[in-house]
């Protein structure tokens, strides 16, 4: 996209170099005379042309490119770092200059010098102070309302900022939104009715920064740094319904900017949206029963699964197929021939056993790649892909029933799962197909990805030295089968000129086309449970966290939330236990979590959501600890010494599959 290139106005003469400015600041320490520094700030911030004169690397060059803003970033940083240590009259002078610049009447489109001025002013650390928020809000509105082509320039200039400065910009905007929502001193700001545009303007500028962060490789900051935890305390469902009703039109909703909504808040939106759908279905069932003068049954409020342990997969598939209308209801599991109510433990056991069986290599549905420690879909052709649909349903049910699954899919699986995020109305529209790169392949088959990268970088004659064609071979049940990557591929040699196309088609074949039917069944299974527009709010990484939990462990948080049965938290054995566990390296902490819960990841709500319990096991202290993973429970004998406890605990957690099912 090209913005109209306007002639740049003649700039004022640059008042000082960076060295001159720093010398003036140094002189103040001995003389106490701020006049030279005051004059610099007074002149520089007086207008947009003066800002450009001060900070533009070369006043005679236009710098009309997205690659280079033309601004001396070090000089800008030095001037802003010094500003907060200057007397109040200098700081007020800067703000007055900014006000005058923003109040200037604009005629015609902005020049690149205007964009540079906005870029510089946005970095002003004075905007951390709530007393400057009225000025900051006007600056944000002017930036937010620029045309798309101008935003394009700003995004690429933001991308070139240092990580420190970029993070400061993001944090300043998040704080501005939080304090406008929940002001410590409401009288500091105009009434909300008079400044309803503040938050939409800030959100739009944040969106530019988020885009810049996505374009940077690697990103300047983690995507989670854009989360605004303050939003966890507003009526998120009202925001969601506003977005559902008005989309991205004139009515503002934070759901238009989902990158600021935390994963915990998104989970609440998804679950409540599902509950409302479930209540609607249950209410209709109740009305139907009453109208037919039938007695309502409380079981109609649940997805009741009755399965035999000996036929776990087939029974589960049959039950879920028969009860597909009930998938959004609360799950309850009964094992045939076994007494007991499902208080959560049986449900978790059902998930653990099913996942263990389906992902076993002998089952043939998924291939485990040792290099990347993840599973991928088997490309073997079969008559029925319903079991892949079952895995998708399991993942959807896990999200709605707050179960963390011990599944290791690569990140591109979740990217495919959101392609598209809502089931298309046209049945012929392909699903689960997304753009794939060598980076995606590297997450599954690193050796193959490395080989293809070597092919792309090869400096010799590819056709003569590799002797490859646009054809690939795969082993299926002991038989080697060939597939053309394009029509007549077996007759087309791979050359230096077409090797990029070959690599792209090969990766697309491996991760999209060869497993299309398997993944489509998996996609439809997941979306049959998670059929919600709320999925449009999620990043692929967030779907993974909802299904599998977060890899970030906080054992201190686990200690604070642990419950005890037979022990008190002050007992010597418990004190030994936490001394040992908190001193464990990360890999042993993960093994402990896996041993006791069936997964080494943490639910979205944090360690407290695990409901972790340590029970006293009145057995010999020669015994190892025992785990009931279905209840996240560790049974610990009353070991007499820390050394003995540590030794037994390490043996126990290191020599088990992690499923202490009983």
Domain of 617, CATH number, reads 3.30.2410.10
**Mean pLDDT throughout 593-618?**
89
At residue 214 the predicted structure's pLDDT band, cuts being 50, 70 and 90, is: very high
**Mean pLDDT throughout 184-192?**
86
CA 600 to chain centre: 19
Is 95 inside any structural domain? yes
Is 168 inside any structural domain? no
Domain that residue 581 falls in: 555-655
Least confident of 175-184, 266-275, 573-582: 266-275
At residue 10 the predicted structure's pLDDT band, cuts being 50, 70 and 90, is: low
pLDDT reading at 618 higher than 70: yes
Q: What residue spans of 104-132 are helical by DSSP H?
A: 112-122
Average pLDDT value for the chain: 89
pLDDT on residue 279: 78
Residue 439's alpha-carbon distances to 223, 411, 442, in angstroms, are 19, 10, 5
Least confident of 276-290, 431-445, 486-500: 276-290
554 against 284, higher pLDDT: 554
pLDDT reading at 224 higher than 70: yes
pLDDT on residue 14: 63
**Domains identified in the chain, total number:** 2
Is 541 inside any structural domain? no
pLDDT on residue 588: 95
Q: Report how many helices (DSSP H) and strands (DSSP E) the chain contains, helices first.
A: 26, 10
Q: Which residue among 111, 142, 177 closes a domain? A: 111
Q: Of the residues 530, 548, 630, 635, which is catalytic?
A: 630
Distance CA 656, CA 625 (A): 11
Judging by DSSP bridges, how do beta strands 633-636 and 613-616 pair with one another? parallel
**Mean pLDDT throughout 339-367?**
84
Model-level pTM?
A: 0.86
Is 389 inside any structural domain? no
Judging by DSSP bridges, how do beta strands 471-476 and 479-484 pair with one another? antiparallel
Distance CA 530, CA 645 (A): 44
Is 227 inside any structural domain? no
pLDDT reading at 372 higher than 50: yes
Q: Which residue among 111, 137, 167 closes a domain? A: 111
**Mean pLDDT throughout 83-105?**
92
Is 578 inside any structural domain? yes
What is the three-state SS of 450-477? HHHHHHHHCCCCHHHHHCCECEEEEEEC
Question: How many C-beta neighbours within 10 Å does residue 383 have?
Answer: 5
Least confident of 23-37, 288-302, 538-552, 640-654: 288-302
Q: Which residues, in sequence order, are bridge partners of residue 306?
A: 334
Is 630 among the catalytic positions?
yes
pLDDT reading at 656 higher than 90: no
Q: Which residue among 76, 111, 146 closes a domain? A: 111
Is 2 inside any structural domain? yes
Per 3-state DSSP, the chain is made up of helix, strand and coil in percentages (nearest 5) of 55, 10, 35
Is 300 inside any structural domain? no
285 against 464, higher pLDDT: 464
At residue 68 the predicted structure's pLDDT band, cuts being 50, 70 and 90, is: confident
At residue 659 the predicted structure's pLDDT band, cuts being 50, 70 and 90, is: very low
**538 touches 418 (CB < 8 A):** yes
pLDDT reading at 658 higher than 50: no
| Three-class DSSP category at 482 | strand
Of the chain, the percentage scoring pLDDT greater than 70 comes to 95
Question: How many C-beta neighbours within 10 Å does residue 631 have?
Answer: 19
Pick from 24-28, 65-69, 95-99, 628-632 the range whose average pLDDT is largest: 95-99
List phi, psi (to 5°) of 368. -95, 125
């Amino acid at each position: 996209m090209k913005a109209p290139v306007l002639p740049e106005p003649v700039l004022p003469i640059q008042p000082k170099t960076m060295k001159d400015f720093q010398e003036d600041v140094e002189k103040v320490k001995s003389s106490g005379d701020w006049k030279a520094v005051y004059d610099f700030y007074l002149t520089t911030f007086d207008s947009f042309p003066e800002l450009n004169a001060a900070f533009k690397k070369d006043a005679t060059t236009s710098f009309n490119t997205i690659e280079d803003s033309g601004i001396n970033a070090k000089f800008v940083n030095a001037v802003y770092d010094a500003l907060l240590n200057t007397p109040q009259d200098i700081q007020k002078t800067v703000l007055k200059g900014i006000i005058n610049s923003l109040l200037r009447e604009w005629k015609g489109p902005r020049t690149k010098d205007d964009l540079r001025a906005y870029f510089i002013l946005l970095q002003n650390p004075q905007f951390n102070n709530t007393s400057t928020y009225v000025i900051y809000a006007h600056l944000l509105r002017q930036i937010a309302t620029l045309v798309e082509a101008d935003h394009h320039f700003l995004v690429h200039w933001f991308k070139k900022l240092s990580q420190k400065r970029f993070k400061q910009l993001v944090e300043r905007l998040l704080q501005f939104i939080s304090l406008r929502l929940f002001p410590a001193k409401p009288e500091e700001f105009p009434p909300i009715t008079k400044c309803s545009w503040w938050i939409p303007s800030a959100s739009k500028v944040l969106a530019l920064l988020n885009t810049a962060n996505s374009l940077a490789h690697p990103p300047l900051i983690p995507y989670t740094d854009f989360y605004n935890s303050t939003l966890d305390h507003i009526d998120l469902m009202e925001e969601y319904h506003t977005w559902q009703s008005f989309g991205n039109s004139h009515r503002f909703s934070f759901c238009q900017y989902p990158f600021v909504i935390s994963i915990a808040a998104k989970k609440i939106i998804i679950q409540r949206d599902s509950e409302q759908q479930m209540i609607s279905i249950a209410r209709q069932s109740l009305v139907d029963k009453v109208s037919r003068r039938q007695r309502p049954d409380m079981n109609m409020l649940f997805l009741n699964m009755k399965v035999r342990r000996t036929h776990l997969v087939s029974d589960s598939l049959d039950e879920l197929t028969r009860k597909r209308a009930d998938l959004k209801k609360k799950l309850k599991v009964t094992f045939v021939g076994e007494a007991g109510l499902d208080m959560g433990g049986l449900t978790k056991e059902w998930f653990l056993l099913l996942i263990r069986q389906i992902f076993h290599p002998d089952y043939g549905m998924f291939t485990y790649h040792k290099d990347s420690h993840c599973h991928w879909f088997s490309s073997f052709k079969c008559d029925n892909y319903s079991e892949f649909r079952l895995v998708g349903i399991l993942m959807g049910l896990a999200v709605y029933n707050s179960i963390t699954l011990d599944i290791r899919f690569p990140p591109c699986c979740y990217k495919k799962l959101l392609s598209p995020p809502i089931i298309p109305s046209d049945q012929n529209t392909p699903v689960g197909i997304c753009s794939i790169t060598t980076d995606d392949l590297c997450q599954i088959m690193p050796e193959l990805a490395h080989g293809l990268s070597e092919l792309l970088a090869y400096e010799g004659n590819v056709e003569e030295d590799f002797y490859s064609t646009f054809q690939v071979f795969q082993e299926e049940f002991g038989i080697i089968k060939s597939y053309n990557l394009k029509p007549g591929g077996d007759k087309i040699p791979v050359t230096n000129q077409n090797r990029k196309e070959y690599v792209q088609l090969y990766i697309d074949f491996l991760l999209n086309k060869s497993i299309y039917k398997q993944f489509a069944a998996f996609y439809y299974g997941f979306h049959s449970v998670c059929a919600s527009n709320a999925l449009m709010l999620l990043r692929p990484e967030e779907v993974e966290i909802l299904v599998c939990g977060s890899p970030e462990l906080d054992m201190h948080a686990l200690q604070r939330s642990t419950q005890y049965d037979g022990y008190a938290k002050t007992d010597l054995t418990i004190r030994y236990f936490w001394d040992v566990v908190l001193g464990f390296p990360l890999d042993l902490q993960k093994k402990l979590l896996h041993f006791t819960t069936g997964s080494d990841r943490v639910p979205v709500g944090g360690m407290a959501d695990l409901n972790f319990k340590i029970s006293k096991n009145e057995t010999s202290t020669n015994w190892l600890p025992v785990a009931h993973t279905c209840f996240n429970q560790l049974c610990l004998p009353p070991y007499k010494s820390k050394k003995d406890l540590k030794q037994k605990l390490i043996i126990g957690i290191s020599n088990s599959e992690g499923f202490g099912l009983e």
